[in-house]
């Protein structure tokens, strides 16, 4: 994910939730009459209800008794981060992801024999058709949906148009891959009020755009279980804010970024949970950063019981375990 549009998005998101609540919907906290400020309590409640964390889904054990699941993920945004001002030099900064970053990432994953998940906006793939083939050729990686041209979904502002872009994104990747993608990651990790409903209808196995926990969870919409598994991401485990000047990143020493990622992994390992890292080929694909990522992978591999998996593999496993638990709970006399 990447968001050089965060500052642009915020006003739109606020506007989405700024419609006045219907009469009778106000439910002040008992004993505390509302005081008008920049949002009503009801607006906050409506926003919160739209997508909510349900039950934790971390299984009692990972496959083969592993202690932790580790997912390396790459959002292949490339030129599309500069789509709204497509000038030659910034575009070349994104093009680097296709010419150099992605090949370097794929070589690293080959050297270490580990899988990864790649999220491609359809147009990013169309600008460099070889990328999908290069990823699939490894027969180890997953490709998921990441918008049509990395459109910011709240700013699309039209549910029908948004759904058409989603449908086209799925169709494009399905045709290019020969297989329907099962994972969704929203461009810029931004959902409109319609997105969750649309991806649920499209039948995705999992989403990876929310940040409500450090481990897999049920995704709820208006209090109802959507049936979708959330494999959450977080800014702390994303290369963008650390390295990108446009995101306020101060181009820190890759060794410092390595220490942050390592700290996140170490505690995930202690918790028997999950560690998802989000990166971008045009950002992490630079020489010194790839070296730091390789150091991290070697460190994680040195620990016993680390399961390197795609998000699809984790979602599949979590789903199977969830169904098994429900079967057990249904049996008469089962202690709960």
CA-wise closest residue to 103 among 138, 134, 145, 82: 134
Give min distance, CB of 93 to Zn ion, in A: 14
Please answer whether residues 247 and 3 qualify as being in contact, where contact means their C-beta atoms are separated by less than 8 angstroms: yes
Residue 248, sorted as left (phi over 0), alpha (psi -120 to 50) or beta, turns out to be left
Nearer to Zn ion, 115 or 121 (CB): 121
Lay out the site mask for Zn ion across 76-115 (x = CB under 5 A, - = otherwise).
-x--------------------------------------
Confirm or reject binding of residue 1 to Zn ion (CB under 5 A). yes
Q: How far is the CB of 150 from Zn ion (least distance, A)?
A: 6
Is 2 an interacting residue with respect to Zn ion (CB under 5 A)?
Answer: yes
Kindly state whether residue 120 participates in binding Zn ion, applying the rule CB under 5 A: no
x-marked contacts with Zn ion along 175-194 as a string, rule CB under 5 A: --------------------
**Which is nearer to Zn ion, 1 or 57 (by Cβ)?**
1
Cβ 80 to Zn ion, closest distance in Å? 8
CB of residue 331 to Zn ion, shortest distance in Å: 44
How many Å apart are CA 104 and CA 109, to the nearest integer?
A: 9
Strands 206-207 and 217-221: unpaired
User: Among 328, 301, 335, 331, which Cα is nearest to 66's?
Assistant: 301
Nearer to Zn ion, 230 or 244 (CB): 244
The CB-of-81 to Zn ion minimum distance in angstroms stands at 7
Contact 262, 252 (CB under 8 A): no
* Count of residues near Zn ion by CB under 5 A: 4
> Considering the complex, what minimum distance in angstroms separates the CB of residue 131 from Zn ion?
14
Q: Which residues pair with 207 in a beta bridge?
A: 184, 230
What are the two backbone dihedrals, phi and then psi, of residue 274, each rounded to the nearest 5 degrees?
-145, 145
Residue 92 CA to residue 88 CA, distance in Å, equals: 6
Q: DSSP 3-state assignment of 31?
A: coil
Pattern of binders to Zn ion over 59-78, x per CB under 5 A? ----------------x-x-
Residue numbers at the binding site for Zn ion (CB under 5 A): 1-2, 75, 77
């Amino acid at each position: 994910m990447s968001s050089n549009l965060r500052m642009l998005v915020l006003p739109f998101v606020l506007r989405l939730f700024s419609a006045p609540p219907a009469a009778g919907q106000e439910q002040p906290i008992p004993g505390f009459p509302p005081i008008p400020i920049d949002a009503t309590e009801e607006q906050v409640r409506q926003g919160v209800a739209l997508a909510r964390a349900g039950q934790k889904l971390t299984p009692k054990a990972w496959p083969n008794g592993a202690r932790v699941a580790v997912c390396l993920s790459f959002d292949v945004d490339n030129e599309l981060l500069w789509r709204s001002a497509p000038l030659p030099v910034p575009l070349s900064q994104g093009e680097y992801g296709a010419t150099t970053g992605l090949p370097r990432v794929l070589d690293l994953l080959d050297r270490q024999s580990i899988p990864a998940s790649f999220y491609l906006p359809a147009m990013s793939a169309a600008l460099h058709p070889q990328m999908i083939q290069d990823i699939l050729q490894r027969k180890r990686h997953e490709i998921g949906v990441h918008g049509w041209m990395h459109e910011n979904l709240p700013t699309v502002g039209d549910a029908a148009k948004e759904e058409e872009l989603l449908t086209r994104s799925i169709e494009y990747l399905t045709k290019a891959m020969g297989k329907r993608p099962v994972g969704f990651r929203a461009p810029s990790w931004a959902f409109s009020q319609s997105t969750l409903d649309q991806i649920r209808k499209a039948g995705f196995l999992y989403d990876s755009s929310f940040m409500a926990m450090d481990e897999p969870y049920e995704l709820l919409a208006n209090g109802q279980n959507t049936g979708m598994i959330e494999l959450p991401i977080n800014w702390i485990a994303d290369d963008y804010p650390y390295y990108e000047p446009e995101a306020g990143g101060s181009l820190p020493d890759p060794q410092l970024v390595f220490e942050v990622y390592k700290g996140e992994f170490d505690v995930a390992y202690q918790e028997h949970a999950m560690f998802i890292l989000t990166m971008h080929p045009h950002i992490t694909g630079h020489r010194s950063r790839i070296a730091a990522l390789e150091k991290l992978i070697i460190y994680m591999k040195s620990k016993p019981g680390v399961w390197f998996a795609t998000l699809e593999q984790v979602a599949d496993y979590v789903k199977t375990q969830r169904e098994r638990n429900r079967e057990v709970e249904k049996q008469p006399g089962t202690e709960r």
